[in-house]
Amino acid sequence: MDSTDDRDDAAWNRQVRHETETQRLDRNWSNLLSELRVVQTGVQLLTGFLLTLPFQQRFQDLSDTQEVIYLVTVTCSVTATMMLVAPVGLHRLLFRQHALPTLVATGQRLAIGGITVLGFALVGVVLLIFSFVVNMLAGVIAAAVALLMFFGFWILPALVGRRSTDNAPTPHETT
């Protein structure tokens, strides 16, 4: 969100919700933390699962290509975990520093980045599992379907939602 969008959002919240800037930031931070609680559990379980795989007996049966897929997938999953946990650490480091605008803006960027990288980790997991259990072609097809689902469930609705809100009246047009 650029500064114009942020100003429009703040104006809308003042007019419609009767919120001060601090109330808006508090609500945004609370919403972000609630969303992170949901996604953190899943990404941490995925990362933990992936980190145990090399200790399984059949791990040595992976082809060289599957090992690369595994390592890229682990990297994505660990990166997603770090990005999705980072806002909480940032909050601790900035506690009582009156840095709520920084926390909300940075937390927003980290959450979007973390969810994006998580999507790629999930695609990698699908590729790895299908290629190992069936064959590489099945893995590529399943990963392509997972990638389409990622865009269809996560990215496309957000883009459509943004486009529809871009056409919504601004606060001064609604009165």
List pLDDT tens digits, range 26-71.
888 889 989 999 998 999 999 999 999 999 999 999 999 999 999 9
Separation of alpha carbons 56 and 97, rounded Å:
46
pLDDT value of residue 175: 43
User: Is this model's pTM higher than 0.85 or not?
Assistant: no
CB 163 within 8 A of CB 5: no
Burial classification of residue 145, based on how many CB atoms lie within 10 Å of its CB (0-12 exposed, 13-18 middle, 19 or more buried):
middle
Mean residue pLDDT of the chain comes to 88
- pLDDT value for 82: 96
- pLDDT band at 174; cut points 50, 70, 90: very low
Q: What gap in Å lies between CA 38 and CA 19, rounded to an integer?
A: 26
Mean pLDDT of 139-151: 97
